[in-house]
Amino acid sequence: MSLLAACLDRLARLGRFLWSAWAGLAGLALIGALWQAGHEAYGDFILTAPLDTLAAAARLLHEGRAQELLALTTARALAGFGLCALIGTLAGVAAGYSPATLRLSRPVLTLLLGVPPIAWIVLAMIWFGPSDMTVAVTILISATPVVFVGAVEGVVTRDRGLDDMARVFGAGPLRRFLFVSARQISAQLFPALILALGSAFKVAIMAELLANAGGIGGALARARAMLDIAEALAWVSLAVAALIAVEYVLIRPVRAELERWREAAAPWGVKR
């Protein structure tokens, strides 16, 4: 009975989500229109028509090599993202609970954020050569601070009253963390994770391009060398599509599941 109700609730949510895709489609159509206008103003060489770009992307996908490259870049980005999510979350939670660690890590963070990602790519290239490691390390260094800060915020802004409540009812430190604090931390952590995932993809492609490590970045470099605008734009579209696919398959469902209560609180008609 309750299982059925839960399934129906999920289905309703999925339906609402799919229905909201019309708004997304309208936004995409707007971008397409601007793109087309730019194409008509500046010509094929500067900006290929959107339809031609789509055709080029489809051709790349059908030729087979594109899927391989997409998979390679996605795997690299996900590996870097996974690493940075793990390390950032663990370190952030630890620092959130220990003010001394937090005070120590603040300047480190400022320093890390101050170094441009491009510098890390150069260093990683020297250390690891054009390999997966270069990409992973660059992602790790450039995306971890965001996750770290999200986790720290989650710990620091948690409702301590709920901690006391759990303690009165007999929860030890571990179960207080698992049952009460973890949920509050995740609310702050998810936006940070989504941001980190996006930057993982961007940094992966940038690192590939500069380190000549293959993947989409490598293909992009080749398209630039050949001055093939249609192909370059096609690769960009494919990369964006991959990012969106990963975000909506991997992170959004988990977040929606954890934040069901927030949706319940929204008045009717405001539900997204």
Partner 1 sequence: MSLLELNRIGHAFFGRTVLEGITLTVERQEIVALVGPSGSGKSTLAHIAAGLVEPREGRVARRYLRHAMVFQDPRLMPWATAAGNIGFPLRLSRAPRRMRRRMIGDAALRAGLLPEDLGKYPSELSGGMRQRAAIARALVTDPDFIYFDEPFTALDVALKRRMQDLVIEAAASARFAALFITHDLLEAIRISHRILVLDAGGRGIAGERLPPGNPGTRDEAAIFALRQHYLTADPLFAHIHDIDERLRP
Q: Which residues bind partner 1 (CB under 8 A)?
A: 5, 161-162, 164-171, 175, 179-180, 183, 258-261, 264-265
Give min distance, CB of 190 to partner 1, in A: 13
Spatial CA neighbour of 216 closest among 241, 239, 197: 239
Is-contact 210 125, C-beta < 8 A? yes
Of 68 and 164, CB closest to partner 1 = 164
Give min distance, CB of 269 to partner 1, in A: 16
Of 5 and 41, CB closest to partner 1 = 5
Give min distance, CB of 95 to partner 1, in A: 24
For the stretch 118-124, contacts whose Cβ atoms lie closer than 8 Å and that sit 24 or more positions apart, written own/partner, are 118/206, 118/210, 121/206, 121/207, 121/210, 121/211, 122/210, 124/207, 124/211
Give min distance, CB of 76 to partner 1, in A: 34
Place of tokens 């995740």: 186
Spatial CA neighbour of 87 closest among 152, 20, 158, 147: 147
Of 59 and 260, CB closest to partner 1 = 260
Of 163 and 228, CB closest to partner 1 = 163
Cα separation of 232 and 209, whole Å? Answer: 12
Give min distance, CB of 187 to partner 1, in A: 8
Q: Where does residue 54 rank: exposed (0-12), middle (13-18), buried (19+ CB within 10 A)?
A: middle
Of 8 and 34, CB closest to partner 1 = 8
Question: Mutual orientation of helices 182-211 and 229-246 as an angle, nearest 10°?
Answer: 160
Of 114 and 170, CB closest to partner 1 = 170
Give min distance, CB of 92 to partner 1, in A: 20
Of 228 and 259, CB closest to partner 1 = 259
Angle in degrees, CA 249, 251, 253, rounded to 5:
70
Query: Which residues, 6 or more positions from 261, have their beta carbon under 8 angstroms from its beta carbon?
Result: none
Cα separation of 272 and 253, whole Å? Answer: 14
Please count the other Cβ atoms lying within 10 Å of the Cβ belonging to residue 262: 11
Spatial CA neighbour of 135 closest among 239, 216, 224, 205: 205
